[in-house]
Structure 1
Amino acid sequence: NYQVALAKACLGQMFIADAPISIVVTAQYERTTSKYGERGPRYVHIEVGHVGQNICLETVSLGLATVTTGAFWDEEVSKILHLPDRHKPLYVLPVGYPE
């Protein structure tokens, strides 16, 4: 079960295991740093913030709920999801029904 493993990798935040789905936003820093150099990570983080905000807004518009989660063990999340080395997890957004 990916959800339980993911929740444990998110520092034991077990509410993640209760969500029907979790969206994990990743980044490939090299795509941006190759063009923008040392400013690349800043631009990646700005764009990931936009992505997270859009997921939150769309979730609410569908009558669902989410929360942005940045507290996790990067290596564990990467391993659970079998991410290629170039993909770095930045956000975990569990999506479910509001209580």
Structure 2
Amino acid sequence: MTNIGGGEDRLTKVTSPSDSVGRTMLSRHKSSGRGADTMRMKESVRVPAGATLAMSPFDVSVMTRMNSRWRAGEVVPFVLHFRHSAPVEVLAVVVRPGS
């Protein structure tokens, strides 16, 4: 996502209107460079003015508890909530881990 506004914003939470999605949490992947990577839960994520924030398993991501099983290729709706901007609806495609 790209912040096209004139000021910094923060991604504060992610929710889903889908019954298949339970609790969600923002997280950030940290690589130690020594093989022991970690994931840290985040209260919010900074999105500088004019900057792009790419969400992936290797940086900022959303961890969720599933209420039902998902299959590869399934589309799951999420809503990104920001401190200063209106919520943004997005779709995520389910992929197999490691693919």
TM-score under structure 2 length normalisation: 0.26
Ranked by relative contact order (alpha carbons within 8 Å, sequence separation 6 or more), the top structure is 1
User: Larger helix proportion, structure 1 or 2?
Assistant: 1
TM-score under structure 1 length normalisation: 0.26
